[in-house]
């Protein structure tokens, strides 16, 4: 039998081609480009129970979930591009047809992608504790987010949480105990070990460094959950107005500024001159979603000194409440430059 010899260069080339092939097979999913809510049966090609892992890291537990639940569709959320790429290649390499990974914050997915009572299991492995005092609002385990998780769980669905931070465990224990829609399935507030659980890379590192791990197991009961509807995108905002100022005069007057409305923040960073108008760089931070986007100021038709402010399609932003606030804030700033500014047409959410 002839033996084929493959050089190291050929071997590396084969690996690169295989990786590129894997990337081409798996559709890259992002919460900002998926429909709100997502059609999971269409994405997976079959309607099955949904299992969600929030922050899957290296993907070890995702693979475990897929093997443990071949009857379910498994979804992993992650914000690390490197982790997403590794997981996408794993899906293609191992033919894991019932697994998809999504670039998304937990809050964005919970509020925008999942409808109420659709999840049969939720797994949270070693969430970031965000120790600094001013970072507390970023912690996953807090009242609003847990209420959203509960609202997305079916009756009988399981919730698993693991952490190696005692303070985080104590905080989570109080929060979970104060959630009437969840029942503790352990004899104590948490367990030191869970039989049959696969050990993640982070988990092994924590134990090797002498840190104890704490595991929570809760189940959704029949008590009605808080009513948290899916947040859908709004109509595209725009304002048509008249101003005696030219685009160059508006640009010359611009200084970075921000606007606040409730718990929504919009920051205006830079302005750029184009052939026909101006492009304003913005950051819209909402409780469930962050977007870096741009607003356009362009001439309206052929009437002199008439302009339109609208959302640019650069980066495929979603027209959320924050974007509507941004359009209105930009118009208010321009109106403050000249008392002769008048609104001709306005399409904004209340």
Is 1 part of a structural domain of the chain?
A: no
* Active site positions, annotated: 128
Is 227 part of a structural domain of the chain?
A: no
Question: Is the pLDDT at 24 greater than 80, yes or no?
Answer: no
Same domain, 173 and 245: no
- For 255, the domain range is 238-347
Question: Is the pLDDT at 2 greater than 50, yes or no?
Answer: no
Same domain, 173 and 317: no
Q: Of 158, 187, 220, which marks where a domain is finished?
A: 220
Per-residue pLDDT of 156-211, as tens digits, reads: 999 999 999 999 999 999 999 999 999 999 999 999 999 888 998 889 888 889 89
Q: Of 192, 220, 248, which marks where a domain is finished?
A: 220
Same domain, 255 and 303: yes
Same domain, 184 and 282: no
**Tally of structural domains, the chain:** 2
Average pLDDT, the chain: 91
Three-state SS annotation for the chain: CCCCCCCHHHHHHHHHHHHHHHHHHCCCEECCCCCCCCCHHHHHCCCCCEEEEECCCCCHHHHHHHHHCCCCEEEEEECCHHHHHHHHHHHHHHCCCCEEEEECCHHHHHHHHCCCCCEEEEEEECCCCCCCHHHHHHCCCCHHHHHHHHHHEEEEEEEEEEECCHHHHHHHHHHHHCCCCEEECCCCCCECCCCCCCCCHHHHHHHHCCCCCEEEEEEECCCCCCCCCCCCCCCCCEEEEECCCCHHHHHHHCCCEEEEECCEEEEEEEEEECCCCEEEEEEEEECCEEEEEEEEEEECCCCCCEEEEEECCCCCCCCCHHHHHHHHHHHHHHHCCCCCCEEEEEECCC
Q: What is the pLDDT of residue 195?
A: 87
Same domain, 74 and 216: yes
Same domain, 265 and 202: no
Q: Of 220, 254, 285, which marks where a domain is finished?
A: 220
Question: Is the pLDDT at 23 greater than 80, yes or no?
Answer: no
Q: What is the pLDDT of residue 190?
A: 97
Per-residue pLDDT of 42-93, as tens digits, reads: 999 999 999 999 999 999 999 999 999 999 999 999 999 999 999 999 999 9
Per-residue pLDDT of 246-281, as tens digits, reads: 999 999 999 999 999 999 999 999 999 999 899 999
pLDDT (average), residues 145-166: 97
């Amino acid at each position: 039998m002839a033996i084929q010899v493959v050089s190291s260069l050929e071997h590396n080339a084969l690996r690169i081609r295989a990786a590129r092939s894997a990337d081409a097979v798996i559709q890259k999913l992002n919460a900002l480009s998926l429909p709100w809510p997502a059609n999971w049966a269409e994405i997976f090609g079959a309607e099955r129970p949904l299992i969600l892992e929030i922050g899957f890291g290296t993907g070890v537990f995702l693979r475990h979930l897929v093997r443990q639940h071949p009857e379910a569709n498994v979804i992993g959320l992650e914000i690390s591009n490197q982790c997403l790429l590794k997981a996408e290649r794993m899906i293609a390499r191992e033919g894991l047809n019932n697994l998809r990974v999504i670039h998304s914050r937990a809050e964005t997915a919970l509020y925008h992608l999942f409808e109420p009572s659709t999840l049969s299991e939720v797994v949270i492995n070693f969430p970031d504790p965000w120790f600094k005092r001013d970072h507390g609002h970023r912690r996953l385990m807090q009242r609003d987010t847990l209420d959203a998780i509960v609202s997305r769980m079916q009756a009988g669905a399981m919730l698993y949480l693991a952490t190696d931070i005692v303070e985080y465990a104590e905080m989570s224990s109080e929060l979970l105990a104060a959630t009437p829609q969840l029942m503790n399935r352990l004899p104590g507030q948490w367990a030191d070990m869970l039989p049959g659980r696969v050990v993640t890379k982070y988990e092994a590192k924590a134990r090797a460094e002498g840190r104890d791990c704490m595991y929570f197991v809760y189940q959704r009961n029949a008590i009605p959950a808080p009513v948290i509807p899916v947040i859908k995108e709004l109509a595209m905002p725009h304002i048509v107005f008249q101003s005696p100022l030219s685009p160059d005069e508006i640009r010359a007057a611009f200084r970075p500024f921000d606007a606040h409305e409730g718990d929504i923040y919009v920051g205006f960073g830079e302005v750029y001159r184009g052939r026909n108008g101006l492009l304003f760089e913005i950051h819209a931070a909402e409780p469930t979603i962050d977007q870096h986007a741009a607003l356009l100021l362009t001439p309206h038709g052929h009437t002199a000194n008439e302009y339109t402010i609208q959302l640019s399609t650069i980066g495929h932003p979603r027209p959320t409440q924050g974007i509507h606030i941004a359009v209105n804030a930009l118009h208010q700033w321009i109106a403050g430059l000249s008392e002769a500014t008048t609104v001709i047409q306005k399409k904004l959410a209340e």
